[in-house]
């Protein structure tokens, strides 16, 4: 019985944290990292994503997209990622980045927090190393500059091969890195999926 009470209490704390994010300012970087870890533990794969799908960079050629229940609900209600025009407040989407040996090398996230940054659709952008060390957090201009390519989808890209970034656009954002040849092959195979 004590274990059941603890589980219920933990669930209420988790749910109240998500609701707080939906109606107030953004959490701390540490608070967001805890929510990301919860998604990782629950294996909350984003609709349309698959484990170890192709990523665009050679440094992390594999990715996994995760989404919390609010983000998944927004996707399901719209009829798919390409049809979402606004995610619910509290929505969290996460991209896990893996190296060629399928070891986690980085995590990026977007959290929708009401009134946070209306000019950029209220998304909190974040980047962490695999241990949770904050690399970027908040109104991250470089993240937003790329994600505005899919502004009609509330700044959230669909997993590949549903949506792909063009080689020219990719080079503008990652000029000092190499592009994953397998991702380039996807672009050639699915030209209509390239974001214009």
Please list, in sequence order, all residues whose beta carbon lies within 8 angstroms of the beta carbon of residue 83, skipping any fewer than 6 positions away: 153
**Structural domain count of the chain:** 1
- Model confidence, pTM: 0.85
Burial label, 15 (beta-carbon count in 10 A; 0-12, 13-18, 19+): exposed
Q: Three-state SS for 57?
A: strand
Residue 10, preceding peptide bond in cis (omega within 30° of 0): no
Alpha-carbon torsion angle 18, 14, 132, 104, nearest 10: -90
Structure tokens of 28?
């701390």
Cα distance between residue 88 and residue 111, in whole Å? 10
pLDDT at 90: 94
Cα distance between residue 67 and residue 184, in whole Å? 26
pLDDT at 25: 66
- The DSSP output letter for 145 is H
Domain containing 37 — which CATH number? 3.50.70
Pick out the chain residues at pLDDT < 50.
Answer: 1-23
Cα distance between residue 112 and residue 115, in whole Å? 9
Q: In which order are the strands placed within the sheet that holds 92-98?
A: 53-54, 62-67, 92-98, 104-112, 123-128, 134-138
Containing domain of residue 154, as a range?
2-193
């Amino acid at each position: 019985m004590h274990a059941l009470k603890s589980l219920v209490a933990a669930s209420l704390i988790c749910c109240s944290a998500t609701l707080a994010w939906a109606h107030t300012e953004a959490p701390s970087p540490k608070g967001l990292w805890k929510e990301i870890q919860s998604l990782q533990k629950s294996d909350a794969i984003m609709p349309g994503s698959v484990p170890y799908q192709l990523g665009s960079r050679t440094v992390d050629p594999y990715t996994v997209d995760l989404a919390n229940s609010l983000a998944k609900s927004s996707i399901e209600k719209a009829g798919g990622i390409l049809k979402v025009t606004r995610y619910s407040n509290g929505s969290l989407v996460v991209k896990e980045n893996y190296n060629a040996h399928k070891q986690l090398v980085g995590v990026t996230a977007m959290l929708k927090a009401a009134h946070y940054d209306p000019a950029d659709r209220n998304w909190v952008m974040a980047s962490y190393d695999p241990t949770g060390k904050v690399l970027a957090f908040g109104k991250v201009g470089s993240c937003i500059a790329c994600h505005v390519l899919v502004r009609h989808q509330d700044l959230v890209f669909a997993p590949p091969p549903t949506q792909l970034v063009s080689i020219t656009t990719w080079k503008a954002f990652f000029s000092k890195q190499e592009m994953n040849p397998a991702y380039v092959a996807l672009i050639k195979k699915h030209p209509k999926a390239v974001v214009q």
